[in-house]
Chain A
Amino acid sequence: MIGFATRRLLQAVIVMLVVALLAFTMFRFVGDPINQMVGIETSIEEREALRERLGLNDPIAVQFYRFISKAARFDFGTSYQFRQPVSELFAKRIPATLELSLTSALFALIVGIPMGIYAGLNRESPISKLFLSVSLVGISLPTFFIGILLIFLFSVTLQWLPSFGRGETVQIGSWWTTGFLTVSGLKALILPSITLGLYQMTLIMRLIRAEMLEVIRTDYIKFARARGLPDRLVHFRHALKNTLVPVITITGLQLGAIIAFATITETVFQWPGMGLMFLQAVQNVDIPIMSAYLLLTAFLFVAINYIVDMLYFFIDPRLRVGRP
C-alpha cells in the first residue's frame, strides 16, 4: 500500500515537473518578457540592466529553479494585460469557477443517477429509450451550443433567467465571494450549471445503466430475489451499492474535465471565472496568465487523479491483493 502510494506520488511529481517545464518554456521564450514590461523609449542599456536585474541572463536551469520555487509560493509574475500580479487575479476568480463547477457536478449526479437506475431496471420501457436517445443528443451537441440554445429559450424568449454574469454576490471572509446566498445569484447559476453538467449527466446516466444491467444478472442478486427480498431492497441495498464504485472514479476524473470545460461555459455566459480569464489571455497572448492556468489546472488534475487512484485502492479490495 505505502509502496504503491509513494510510487504514484513520484509519478505525479514528475508529471508536475514536466508541466512546469512546459509552462516555463512558454513563460520565458514566447514573446520577450522585457518588451512587455518597458515602453518603446527605453534605451538598450536600460533594457540590459533590467534583464540582468530580473535574472534573465542566468543559466536556464537556475531560471527554471527560480520559476518553480516562485510558483510554489503562488508567484506567477505580472499579467501583460492587467498589470497586476497573476495570483491576485486568479484569487478573485477562483470562487466563481469553483461554485459553478460544484453546482454542475451536483446537478449531473442528482439527475444522472436516478435516470441511470431507472433505465437500468426498466430496460425495455419507452421512458428508458427516451432517456438514451436524449443522452445521445446530449453527447453530440457541443457544450457551447447547448449554452446558446438555453440562453435563447430561457433568457431571450421566455425571459425567466439571466444570460450572463453571476448576479449579486456576497463577500465571505477576505476574498471569497459567493452567489449561493442571493436570489439573483442562484438564478444566474441555473443555466451555466446545466450547460456545463449536461455532458457529465449523460455520462453518469449511461454508466449507471450499464453497471446496473450487469449487476442485475449476477448470482447474488438472483439469490437475493430467491430469498424473497422485496425489489426495493434488492435494487437499492444490493445492486446500487456495487454500481457506485466506477461512478465515484468517473465523477472524480470528470471533475477535472468540468473545470476545463468551464472555460467554454464561462465564455458563453460571461461568467467571471478563471476560464474566461484564461480564454481572454489566449486571445491576447498574455503568457503569464496562460502558464499560471496551465500549472494550476495541471495541479488540480494530478491531485484528483492521485486521490481517485488511492480511493480505488480503498474501495476495491481486489486491487490490494495482487500488489506487493
Chain B
Amino acid sequence: MPYVSNEEAKAAVADRSGSQEAPGRLSKIVDSDLFHSFLRSKVTVVAACGTFILFLLAILAPWVAPHNPFDLASISIMDARVPPVWMEYSDPSFLLGTDDQGRDLLSGIFYGMRISLIVGFCSVIAAAVLGITLGLVAGYMGGRTDAVIMRIADVQLTFPAILIALLIDGVANGIFGSLDREVFAFYILIVSLALSFWVQYARTVRGSTMVEKNKEYVQAARVIGIPSVIIMARHILPNVMGPVMVIATINLALAIVTEATLSFLGVGMPPTQPSLGTLIAVGNDFLYSGEWWIAIFPGLALALLVLNVNLLGDWLRDALNPKLR
C-alpha cells in the first residue's frame, strides 16, 4: 500500500536525524518529489499520523484494549449500559462506557476497527486482483474479449456499488440459507464488495495496458516467443501498477464505508464478529432511551478512520496526478 512508503519515509527521517545520511533506498525516498510534497502539506502529515495510529490501535487491539469484549467470563450484564466516565453513574474502568451486554465500548471499538480494516483490505485486494486481471486481459487481447468485459463494466457502472453489494449479499443469503450466516458472512461480504468495486481497476489497467502493449519491450518479448500470460504478468503488470495504488487507497475508505453500511443494515458482519457498522447498528436501538454513546462513539471512530484515509488518498491522487477518476 502507498502509505507504507510514507511510514518508511518517516522512518527514514528519524533514521537520518539520528545519525548519518541514510544510504541507498532510504535517501532516495527522502529526496523524492513525493516525499517533498508530502511534507509540504500539513494536513496530509496529520492524516498520515492519524491513519498510522488508528491502524496500530486496530492491529494491536488484543494488547492495547483495556478489556477483551469476546471473553465471556470477564463481562457481566451488571455492567451493561454504563455511561462514559465524565457522566454520572459511570465506572472508571470503562472509559467510553459499555454497550447493552456490558462490554467495554473502547475495547469494542478497537476490535471493531480491526474487523472493519480486515474486511476493507481483503475486499480492496480482491477487487484489485479481479479488476487488474480482467483489465490486463481486455487491454492485451482486445477484440471481442475486450468488448465483452468492458460492456459488463459499463453496465455495472450504471449502478451504485452499495446496491450491487446489497443484491449479491441478498442472493448469497438465499443460496446459503441463514443457518451458516456467521461462518459465511465474512466471505460473502468480501465477494460482494469485490464484485462491486472491480470496474475502476479494470478500466484504468485496460487503458494503460493498451498503451504498454505497443511498446518495444512487449513486442520484443512477443517476438522471442514468451507466452501471453507471462508477458502480461511479468512485463506489463509492473508498468500499470502506479494508478492502481491510488485507486486502492481511495477505495479502501469507500470499502470501509460500504462494509459499515451493509453491517448497519444487518446484511454484513454478524453481532458475534462485530465491525464498526455492526456496533453502530446495535447502538442505534438504544439511541432513543438516552444511551447515545453506544452508537455515537463507534460512529465517530468510523468517521475518523475514513476521513484520515480519504485525506491520504486525495493527497496521493494529486501528488501522482495521473488524470484518473
Contact = CB atoms under 8 A, between A and B. Distances in A.
Interface in B135-165: 151, 154-155, 158-160, 162-163
B174 A141 contact: no
A151 B284 CA distance: 10
B158 A15 contact: yes
Given A19-B155, A31-B174, A151-B287, A141 B167 contact: no
A149 B159 contact: no
A260 B162 contact: yes
B261 A294 contact: no
A30 B160 contact: no
A260 B303 contact: no
A139 B310 contact: yes
A30 B171 contact: yes
B214 to A, nearest CB: 25
Given A140-B253, A140-B306, A282-B267, A30 B174 contact: yes
A14 B155 CA distance: 9
B307 A136 contact: yes
A52 to B, nearest CB: 25
A152 B292 contact: yes
A264 B261 CA distance: 8
A63 interface: no
Contacts of B280: 144-145, 148
A19 B163 CA distance: 13
Contacts of A268: 284
Interface stretch (A87-95, A170-178, A190-198, A297-305): A297-305
Contacts of A261: 160, 162
Contact of B174 (A151, A260, A285, A297): A285
A299 to B, nearest CB: 11
A145 B306 CA distance: 12
Secondary structure class of chain B's binding surface, majority of residues = helix
B166 A26 contact: no
Interface in B171-206: 171, 173-175
B169 A282 contact: yes
B45 interface: no
Contact of A142 (B159, B284, B287, B302): B302
A15 B155 contact: yes
A137 B299 CA distance: 13
Nearest to B263: A144
B158 A302 contact: yes
Nearest to A301: B158
A205 interface: no
A283 interface: yes
A113 interface: no
Interface string B219-257: 000000000000000000000000000000000010001
Contact of B160 (A14, A260, A282): A260
A38 interface: no
Nearest to B290: A156
Nearest to A302: B158
B274 to A, nearest CB: 15
Contact of A149 (B151, B261, B296, B306): B296
B265 to A, nearest CB: 6
B170 A148 contact: no
A163 B295 CA distance: 16
B92 interface: no
A30 B175 contact: yes
B306 A287 contact: no
A202 interface: no
Contacts of B284: 148, 268
A256 B163 CA distance: 11
A257 interface: yes
Count chain A CB atoms within 10 A of each CB in B167, B266, B267 and give the residue with the most. B167
Interface string B292-304: 1001100100110
Of all A-B residue pairs in the complex, the 6 with the closest CB atoms, nearest first, are A282-B170, A140-B307, A285-B174, A260-B160, A30-B174, A145-B299
10 contacts: A145-B280, A148-B295, A256-B158, A260-B162, A261-B162, A263-B166, A279-B166, A279-B265, A287-B174, A298-B158
Given A145-B302, A152-B292, 4 more contacts: A141-B303, A144-B280, A152-B296, A287-B174
